[in-house]
Structure 1
């Protein structure tokens, strides 16, 4: 009898239960390594065969730990459940010579400088940028690119650590504070306009599924100043959505994704009417975007990621399941109440509610995009009145 496939998952944040369940349903043996502080989260224990914790999932400790496990276990695949685990998983694959994304490709999906250089060199439009390294080049950028600018850490997730700056003096002060850490940053042209995200399923370099959404306010604005976060599905038949799909395929090709899931963000410039690539991640979208996609299409991104990995491992073709093309909208905010009461949001289009302390959130879904947009607008005003709390921006994602 063949030994079961063993999947090792890394989780620096609590997420990915659907991935674990999908692996278990297909007869896999699953090992989860997470942080000690996440030990008591609501993990799907029935889908986990071995569970280990560490203070932090960082090198070299994680290399030693996994190599020790591999003395008595055959690890077939290593999967990062969070963005912060992508490079760690790649390093482990390189060290153990396990198939999957290696160090170079992982860098394109984690390092905001590396992904911009690769995209630009592949002819993909990106905002003007400069690596915070050579001061002459930095001065030239600030002289030739009008402020404001966006100051970004290269390897944080999402909008963490990003700030908008208006003058060279602010930049020099920031660099003085950063000291030797300043080369881990880049400075980028600020482009005003709505931000969009495209989530995709990729198998053997081919995009088999993609869906586009438009944020209500840019995530950086919500992260920096607080407020209500919204996003809603775009009409796939519209030219702007098709343009996003085409640009996203070019990004996936340029960054070297072979198989898995991606979450990419693009901004539409109010100045020239073009889409610009902002960033891409080799993971399921955060902030409950996985629930949003499932509400609109029936596709569970976590489950399909597991199916892709296992199909490749078994030498079988991956087939995308049948799915809908409805529309959905997501609304979230920090809440003043420990357990916000969402019972008054009772429209029949409400299909999901968030259960998390000091957070209010729900998803609406409908065959009508107009109805989704209408409900989000009404709910956003009510969320500000009923729940909204504002805290200073954190240096880590929630």
Structure 2
């Protein structure tokens, strides 16, 4: 086949297309940015370089240029959530099979996805598209409770606000462009995420995990932990997830699904038609032997995934911890936690001298930790131990005065 890949990544795991696609059997072309070119296999058919991904237009034009150079493409691989809509536009323009804009919007637009899930009789929060303070105020007044204000097509908890029933909405949102926003009810309860693969309209593989804190809490400076769960509660989350994905029409591919556990059952929060971020791909590879990225690619190419393990605790439980970056700080020193915490098998830590500038996302942060233990409780205890004992020394930026150097404890997760 002739395959075009829109490549946003440069790390050795996510951008390892060479081991996942036989470049001698297929003609594989790429659109990427200059610093990622070294990651492209030497056997690539064609490489088209764009300066950045800030706007979709140059990426689309680069795809058109690759089409002119190589002819019609049979498949387009777009694996980053931030590029899914761009990929849909490329498919429509070049006549490449695969999800079009309408199909992708169901997994990018939070109002569309909730409406479609609700139409299937599955529970979602009360919600409304709202682009003015007046609309949001009226919604909150009718609800009589706290609300969540979020971008309709956002990701990674960027631009989200949780606003209490007595807080000033206008003041809270004063500097926010609300043109692409929605508002929904705030629900209390543990947040879960389910990650896996759909094939032929059913869940080929999935694991249900429960967060310790939330992605929103991470954006507010709290560590984010997660542990894979098994048992009746996890089975309920898996079944609910599959029903929602079928309602949304996801026939094949990776997914990252989030839901809240309430006393009356699970409630849909949102879903991405892509693999989960943070440490999820690495934990699934290390603990369960599942390459979410590679199997997603295989599904897109019409191949079967590699052998997937059946649900169950036989391979133990995986988990992860992300410690957010301390903005405006420079790292002076930090300990290694591998060997000090049972169940912690890998860590990714910044080097002393690293400056935290607010651009770290989930990758360039104060600490990334991965766990493997016999039970979810053991993983959760290991995460708590890491939070308790991970003590870093930081200095304020830009001054380098010795008076500004201070040890910093990792904050406890929000309750």
SS of corresponding position for 2:56: coil
- Which stretches in structure 1 are left out of the alignment for 5+ residues? 392-398
Distance 1:26 1:292 in 2: 30
SS of corresponding position for 2:331: coil
By how many angstroms is 1:111 displaced? 0.9
Q: Is the 8 A contact 2:151 2:182 kept in 1?
A: yes
Which of residues 3, 6, 13 in structure 2 aligns to 1:6? Answer: 3
Q: Is the 8 A contact 1:34 1:53 kept in 2?
A: yes
SS of corresponding position for 1:191: coil
Matched residue, 2:297: 306
By how many angstroms is 1:352 displaced? 2.3
- Residue by residue over 1:200-246, the C-alpha shift from the partner in whole angstroms, topping out at 9 and shown as x without a partner, is 2111212111111111001101212x1222111111xx221111111
Matched residue, 2:317: 327
By how many angstroms is 1:125 displaced? 0.9
Q: In terms of mean alpha carbon deviation, does 125-134 or 111-120 score higher? A: 125-134
The structure richer in helix per residue is 1
Q: Is the 8 A contact 1:147 1:190 kept in 2?
A: yes
Matched residue, 2:366: 359
Which of residues 257, 271, 288 in structure 2 aligns to 1:297? Answer: 288
- Which stretches in structure 2 are left out of the alignment for 5+ residues? 352-364, 394-406
Matched residue, 2:398: none
Q: Is the 8 A contact 2:390 2:409 kept in 1?
A: no
1:43 matched to 2:39? The reply is: yes
Matched residue, 2:273: 282
By how many angstroms is 1:384 displaced? 5.6
- Residue by residue over 1:359-398, the C-alpha shift from the partner in whole angstroms, topping out at 9 and shown as x without a partner, is 312211123333222212211211266786899xxxxxxx
1:105 matched to 2:103? The reply is: yes
**Distance change >3 Å, CA 56–CA 345, structure 1 → 2:** same
Which of residues 228, 246, 262 in structure 1 aligns to 2:223? Answer: 228
Q: Is the 8 A contact 1:333 1:388 kept in 2?
A: no
Q: Is the 8 A contact 1:199 1:262 kept in 2?
A: yes
SS of corresponding position for 1:381: helix
1:143 matched to 2:150? The reply is: no
- Count of residue correspondences: 374
Q: Is the 8 A contact 2:50 2:58 kept in 1?
A: no
Q: Is the 8 A contact 1:5 1:27 kept in 2?
A: no
TM-score by length of 1: 0.83
1:257 matched to 2:250? The reply is: yes
By how many angstroms is 1:154 displaced? 0.8
Q: Is the 8 A contact 1:340 1:359 kept in 2?
A: no
Q: Is the 8 A contact 1:142 1:168 kept in 2?
A: no
Distance 2:33 2:181 in 1: 27
**Distance change >3 Å, CA 350–CA 173, structure 1 → 2:** closer
Distance 1:5 1:253 in 2: 29
Which of residues 209, 215, 237 in structure 1 aligns to 2:211? Answer: 215
Matched residue, 1:79: 77
**Distance change >3 Å, CA 48–CA 382, structure 1 → 2:** farther
Matched residue, 1:91: 89
TM-score by length of 2: 0.80
Distance 1:85 1:389 in 2: 37
Q: Is the 8 A contact 2:196 2:254 kept in 1?
A: yes
Distance 1:9 1:223 in 2: 28
